[in-house]
Structure 1
Amino acid sequence: MPEITVDARGMACPGPISALTRAYRNANNGDVIIVMATDPGFEPDVKAWIERTKNELLELKKEGGVITAKIKVVAKK
């Protein structure tokens, strides 16, 4: 499955979610979007984005101040 990497490190809210949304527009069902962000607000924001868009959160981890979300695109029509 194709992976799309979004490096949103250093961006403040709503930058990381905006970058994720742009990547999502260009993605297809089955693609995996990997987003890296340093904004502490990204974690709750990405959880809300997943619920709203009905996509699948594969992984959410924090390492060394970087929050990484791995999202599988399943809700594109």
Structure 2
Amino acid sequence: MSAEIYDLRGLNCPLPVLRTAKRLAGMASGAILVVETTDPLAGLDIPAFCQQDGHQLISAETLDGGHRFTIVKG
């Protein structure tokens, strides 16, 4: 299954988590979403969101000026 890339760069807390939740809600279970963000708090918020909502965080990468998260919808 190919991953969808969701570009949330330039958005600040809480928008990356809210938009990630909304996008995942419209996806099938097992679908893969790659989220890219420049929000400095996303490094804490996205993993916490995944754990709370039952999604699997496959990877969390720190990039120049941001983060990239690979999430499998639970």
Q: Fold-level match, TM-score > 0.5?
A: yes
User: What CA distance in whole angstroms lies between the structure 2 residues aligned with 1:41 and 1:66?
Assistant: 10
One-letter code of the match for 1:14? P
Q: Describe the superposition over 1:11-69 as per-residue Cα deviations: whole angstroms up to 9, x where unpaired.
A: 01011111101111111111001100001100100111011111111010011112000
| Gap runs ≥5 in structure 1 | none
TM-score by length of 2: 0.92
**Cross-structure match for 2:43:** 43
**Cross-structure match for 1:4:** 4
One-letter code of the match for 2:30? G
State the SS of the aligned residue for 2:24.
helix
Identity %: 23
User: What CA distance in whole angstroms lies between the structure 1 residues aligned with 2:19 and 2:2?
Assistant: 18
